[in-house]
Amino acid sequence: MDLQLEQLRTFVAVVDDGSFEAAARRLHVTPSAVSQRMKALESTVGRVLIERGKPARPTPSGRVVLRLARQVALLATDALRELGQDSAEPAEFSRIPIVVNSDSLNIWVLPALADAVRQRICVDVYREDQDHSAELLRRGTVMAAITSESRPVQGCSVRPLGRMSYRPMASPEYVRTWLPEGPTPDALARAPMVVFDRRDDLQDCYLRRRSRREWNPPRSYLPSSGDFPEAIRLGLGWGMMPPQQIERCPAGSVVPIDPAAVVEVPLYWQQWRLDSRPLGILADSVASAAAAALDR
């Protein structure tokens, strides 16, 4: 198959920006040109690659080609950067899609991303729970992920980053109201808890360690890492918090409901096996930030 670089870049733009019109704006061409390139690419491959909805999504066949398209586009940018390194013109920015869990994004990853931008690397960040982020690697949606999976996704390498530790916390008033005799199984079964979203398993992990009983306490869902500690401080429920979030709270405003309890989440950096300087720079920046912020 004779796959054209221009067509592959257009495919990536359609997937990332969600429509032919948005891709046209990014590429500075008309929507008609984007449509013609996609039709030509699909004709060459002999498969439908895009589900033309809102947003546009890759088909199963499209995910295979998307992975190739991202690799080719990144390597082409790398080559142009090297060819133009003696030029007076500034090097083109590389664009790398990654997936990061919310707590890492809120607590320690941003300095690494800022360092990458200083080296002319832009990131397209997808937010997903660390237990599910590797799926975006498998689909070809992203090139790298912070994940809790130590087993490499096919075609990827793995690098350990460290561990995030979480403790069950609540406001003092909440403890007096709901857990006056401590975190007994009967009290925990009735006490409201705060959960990030329906993929967040940290609170349930702590409960499973306390007892094998079936737990179904009242839950409030709050998918915002920035507001999660405030919700606990205000008494919406108890929840699992890392030390960095606890330290940001006013002294004494949150207390551990079970001082000895800790849930540790190992984190890994997975990325495509690709000889790309920008991808290597980004990996090193993330690893450096993790070494300064995470438990080893």
Residues 6+ apart with CB under 8 A from 290: 108, 112, 161, 162, 267, 269
Residue 86's pLDDT is 52
> What's the predicted TM-score (pTM) here?
0.83
CA 152 to the chain's CA centroid:
16
- Cα–Cα distances (Å) from 95 to 23, 91, 100, 116, 295, in that order, read 15, 12, 16, 10, 30
- Decide: 90 and 62 in contact? Cβ < 8 Å: no
Residue 149's pLDDT is 92
Q: Which domains does the chain have, with CATH numbers?
A: 1-87 (1.10.10.10), 164-265 (3.40.190.10)
Name the nearest CA neighbour of 295 among 269, 266, 273, 268.
266
**In whole angstroms, what is the distance from residue 238 CA to residue 177 CA?**
12
Residues linked to residue 50 through DSSP beta bridges, in sequence order: 58
Containing 61, the helix (H) or strand (E) segment is: helix 60-83
**In whole angstroms, what is the distance from residue 68 CA to residue 61 CA?**
11
Residue 29's pLDDT is 94
pLDDT mean for each 10 residues of the chain (296 residues): 88 93 94 95 93 90 91 85 60 86 94 93 91 88 94 93 97 98 96 95 95 93 93 97 95 96 96 90 96 91
Residue 88's pLDDT is 47
Residue 104's pLDDT is 95
Residue 258's pLDDT is 97
